[in-house]
Amino acid sequence: MSVTAAQGFTAAGIAAGIKDNGNPDLALVVNNGPRLAAAGVFTSNRVKAAPVQWSEQVLRGGAVSAVVLNSGGANACTGPKGFQDTHATAEKAAEALGGEHNAGEVAVASTGLIGVLLPMDKLLPGIDTAVAALSADGGEAAAVAIKTTDTVHKTASATQDGWTVGGMAKGAGMLAPGLATMLVVLTTDADLDSATLDRALRAATRTTFDRVDSDGCMSTNDTVLLLASGASGKTPAYESFAEAVRTVCDDLARQLIGDAEGASKDIRIEVVGAADEDDAVEVGRSIARNNLLKCAIHGEDPNWGRVLSAIGTTSAAFDPDRLNVAINGVWVCKNGSVGEDRDLVSMKDREVRITADLATGSASAVIWTNDLTADYVHENSAYSS
Amino acid sequence: MSVTAAQGFTAAGIAAGIKDNGNPDLALVVNNGPRLAAAGVFTSNRVKAAPVQWSEQVLRGGAVSAVVLNSGGANACTGPKGFQDTHATAEKAAEALGGEHNAGEVAVASTGLIGVLLPMDKLLPGIDTAVAALSADGGEAAAVAIKTTDTVHKTASATQDGWTVGGMAKGAGMLAPGLATMLVVLTTDADLDSATLDRALRAATRTTFDRVDSDGCMSTNDTVLLLASGASGKTPAYESFAEAVRTVCDDLARQLIGDAEGASKDIRIEVVGAADEDDAVEVGRSIARNNLLKCAIHGEDPNWGRVLSAIGTTSAAFDPDRLNVAINGVWVCKNGSVGEDRDLVSMKDREVRITADLATGSASAVIWTNDLTADYVHENSAYSS
């Protein structure tokens, strides 16, 4: 499991003292080759954290030998000093790792409060500690060290015909637009070039992390990296590899939703009968972001009127008098009006399934979100204080 | 105050039994002329309640002699039967009022749960009761009868040079896109035609009700009507009249925000330095809809990183490194980075002022919203059950 499931990678997770409470807060993932191929997807927020700006630059080179990740501070909106700190982090890691490593191939990812400079006097020495702790079993420790409000650490892997894709994630969120802060590192020992990794990663994130919309808020720090070591000596067919990447991303995305801040329900919104996939996604997101619906679902109330209100705010193709909505399989709304008895809907389980049928075409999409709870309010009203 | 502040209007508010708890739930406002000029603005939701569809049709005629409003049921997503019920309501009101009244000049507005047919066996007899209760002092009772989750009824008026604009509102919301359900009836005894009323009403709602965004959700029922009786015999200059309408709308809009469901803070978001007004409004709305920020403000936490994250999701013209943000007058973010000490910000008062400076141009806009609270979650998770 995790980032060390694939051959050719070592990792570590340690407590550098960035977090006041002494919990692990610094992770290091190292690609020991023979290849250093890499691809990355980042937040589409126009306000980008320093580590995102840095890592985007690193990825342009197509080679990543190591990733330094810290929790306890996002290093976002921190000005030129924040960028210098990220640069110094990469320099320090390259130096501590020695050998062929150079800062231009070290990606950096950060998560935590925006607008606060990182305590570099703790972070830089922490890198030495992390390098000393590197191990082929270090994936779990690394996954633990990137947690912020996560209640559990998140890892996944898939193995086929002698090659493996592994990964770790933190956050409860969405990439592009992006939510909370999501940091993901995926690794593989398949022998593939950066262009192939990029293609597989973009295809996978488009229908997994991109369709997780827990609270509609977009992070300044979202980062998903895929590194390939080539250590298995295997070069899988593109389709097999892409499917394995998608499987691991889907697994991690579901874990993110399942651990979303304060949530008591995981809500699967499937939009069907859409004219095209864009319409289906637009409608799904609009439903996912409707606070009134999210509260109703928290109260186990199949208030389908909120679903129709949300659909009505979109530009998707539909006729209001032909819309159908099912909640947990009961078609409570038919032809834009009252359908089956809402008392037939049971909402006791954590997973709630909403199907919105636009009755226009044959395209569909699935968006995952969570309910809105008093615990969410509590957690986020006390976050930075 | 209220809709009977202007001459030529009578109103009533009574309990017809639409609400199970016996509270007032039916209001009637009658224009006794000599003019029956009228204008209306409705929700931009593509899923429109039956009364909205009906009243849009009535307004096309440019004359409104009476408005029937009910709480206790939105009559939205109720199919052909729902539309027939609205039609029957207008017919019944015209018949009960007698004289020159005809159904084609009776507007109808409804608020309450979506997807439930109105109890017409109670509503129709209620119209007789309301007609019998009509009075030149009935404006307050009418304002009370349209309340749903409102804790107080909302009225306002402005008088100048022998003519008056009065009004009542219910809801906590926004028009176009629209939030919760907002019903507003404005009256005036100024002697003006429907085209002039329409121009003044659209100008007023654009910068008042349209800039109130309590929870980002758009209603199927939002309705704002302006009726003129001409009873004062005065024809004010357009600018004076438009300003009076704007003043009354602004007063009512502020009352809506002040009574928003579960809110503990009223948040005034002023976007300045924008390239144009559209950019300013887009940025203001994006900030207003950021759940993480709304929770932070509930916790009296000046978490300006959430403001920058929200700005970053827009398409407005700005440079991330030139953004400035003030909270209650303290510039906590300067040039996209850490500014004045956030501990200088006091957030004890109910009103919180956020200023976002895009540092690009000279356009500005003000959007009002509320914080996100556990009470909001509670109220909306228990709403329909």
Domain of B330: which CATH number?
A: 3.10.20.340
Q: Please tell me the distance in Å from A103's CA to the nearest CA on chain B.
A: 25
- Distance separating alpha carbons of residues A335 and A337, to the nearest angstrom: 5
Domain count within chain B: 2
Indicate the residue type of B74. Answer: A
- The pLDDT of B270-291, averaged and rounded, is 95
Give the pair of three-digit tokens for residue A65. Answer: 């030998």
Q: Please tell me the distance in Å from B220's CA to the nearest CA on chain A.
A: 6
List the CATH number of the domain containing A229. Answer: 3.60.70.12
| Residue B99, burial from CB neighbour count under 10 angstroms (0-12, 13-18, 19+) | exposed
Angle between helices B120-133 and B79-97 (to 10 degrees): 30
Q: Are A25 and A69 in contact (CB under 8 A)?
A: no
Q: What ipTM was reported for this prediction?
A: 0.85
Contacts of A113 in chain B (CB under 8 A): 303, 305
Q: Please tell me the distance in Å from B332's CA to the nearest CA on chain A.
A: 10
Q: Based on the fold, state whether residues A252 and A335 are members of the same structural domain.
A: no
Query: Was A188 annotated as part of a binding site?
Result: no
B368 contact partners, CB below 8 Å, separation of at least 6: B211, B212, B213, B253, B254, B257, B266, B267, B268, B269, B288
Nearest Cα residue to A8 out of A232, A245, A166: A232
Predicted local distance difference test score (pLDDT) of residue B179: 47
- Distance separating alpha carbons of residues A323 and B116, to the nearest angstrom: 16
Query: Was A277 annotated as part of a binding site?
Result: no
pLDDT at A277 over 80: yes
Tell me which residue in B305, B318, B377 faces A115 most closely, judged by beta carbons: B305
The angle formed by the CA atoms of residues A314, A318 and A321, to the nearest 5 degrees, is: 115
Q: Report the side by side order of strands in the sheet with A154-160.
A: A37-42, A223-228, A183-188, A163-170, A154-160
Q: Are A208 and A365 in contact (CB under 8 A)?
A: no
- B314-371 residue pLDDT tens: 999 999 999 999 999 999 999 999 999 999 999 999 999 999 999 999 999 999 999 9
Predicted local distance difference test score (pLDDT) of residue B262: 85
Provide the pLDDT confidence category of residue A214 given band limits of 50, 70 and 90. confident
- In a 13 Å sphere around the CA of B186, the CA atoms on its Cβ side amount to 36
B230 contact partners, CB below 8 Å, separation of at least 6: B8, B33, B34, B35, B37, B189, B190, B191, B192
- Distance separating alpha carbons of residues A10 and B3, to the nearest angstrom: 74
A371 contact partners, CB below 8 Å, separation of at least 6: A263, A264, A265, A267, A294, A295, A297, A298, A352
Q: Based on the fold, state whether residues A368 and A221 are members of the same structural domain.
A: no
Q: Based on the fold, state whether residues B78 and B160 are members of the same structural domain.
A: yes
Q: Which of A212, A236, A258 is the last residue of a domain?
A: A258
Q: Are B11 and B142 in contact (CB under 8 A)?
A: yes
Predicted local distance difference test score (pLDDT) of residue A65: 98
Check B308 against A46: CB less than 8 A apart.
no
Q: Based on the fold, state whether residues B248 and B331 are members of the same structural domain.
A: no
Q: Based on the fold, state whether residues A165 and A300 are members of the same structural domain.
A: no
Q: How far is CA B217 from the centre of its chain?
A: 13
Predicted local distance difference test score (pLDDT) of residue A174: 53
- The pLDDT of B271-298, averaged and rounded, is 94
SS3 A258: helix
- The pLDDT of B284-306, averaged and rounded, is 92
What range defines the domain where residue B299 resides? 266-381
Q: Based on the fold, state whether residues A198 and A298 are members of the same structural domain.
A: no
- B127-161 residue pLDDT tens: 999 999 999 999 999 999 999 888 899 999 999 99
Higher pLDDT, A382 or B372: B372
Check A76 against B305: CB less than 8 A apart.
yes
* Closest alpha carbon within chain B to A313: B45
Query: Was B261 annotated as part of a binding site?
Result: yes
- B46-105 residue pLDDT tens: 899 999 999 999 999 999 999 999 999 999 999 999 999 999 999 999 999 998 899 999
Q: Which of B226, B258, B290 is the last residue of a domain?
A: B258
Q: Based on the fold, state whether residues A171 and A85 are members of the same structural domain.
A: yes
Active site residues of A: 181
Nearest Cα residue to A144 out of A247, A56, A78, A70: A70
Q: Based on the fold, state whether residues A242 and A117 are members of the same structural domain.
A: yes
pLDDT at B313 over 70: yes
Provide the pLDDT confidence category of residue A262 given band limits of 50, 70 and 90. confident
B286, B301, B380: which to substitute to probe chain A, counting the most A Cβ within 10 Å? B380
Q: Please tell me the distance in Å from A334's CA to the nearest CA on chain B.
A: 10
Q: Based on the fold, state whether residues A115 and A131 are members of the same structural domain.
A: yes
Check B298 against A385: CB less than 8 A apart.
no
Provide the pLDDT confidence category of residue B12 given band limits of 50, 70 and 90. very high
- A113-153 residue pLDDT tens: 889 999 999 999 999 999 999 999 999 999 999 998 888 99
Contacts of A378 in chain B (CB under 8 A): 374
Q: Based on the fold, state whether residues B179 and B303 are members of the same structural domain.
A: no
**In which residue are the tokens 């420790």 written?**
A141
Q: Which of B258, B293, B321 is the last residue of a domain?
A: B258
Q: Based on the fold, state whether residues A243 and A373 are members of the same structural domain.
A: no
Q: Are A229 and A8 in contact (CB under 8 A)?
A: yes
- Distance separating alpha carbons of residues B336 and B355, to the nearest angstrom: 14
Check B218 against A381: CB less than 8 A apart.
no
Q: Based on the fold, state whether residues A235 and A274 are members of the same structural domain.
A: no
* Closest alpha carbon within chain A to B214: A291
Active site residues of B: 181
Contacts of A219 in chain B (CB under 8 A): 309
Q: Are B269 and B367 in contact (CB under 8 A)?
A: yes
Q: What's chain B's average pLDDT? A: 93
The angle formed by the CA atoms of residues B166, B167 and B169, to the nearest 5 degrees, is: 165
Check B79 against A338: CB less than 8 A apart.
yes
- Strands, E assignment, chain A: 9-14, 26-31, 37-42, 66-70, 106-110, 154-160, 163-170, 183-188, 223-228, 266-274, 324-327, 330-334, 337-338, 351-357, 363-370
Contacts of B113 in chain A (CB under 8 A): 303, 305
Predicted local distance difference test score (pLDDT) of residue A176: 53
- A22-68 residue pLDDT tens: 999 999 999 999 999 999 999 888 899 999 999 999 999 999 999 99
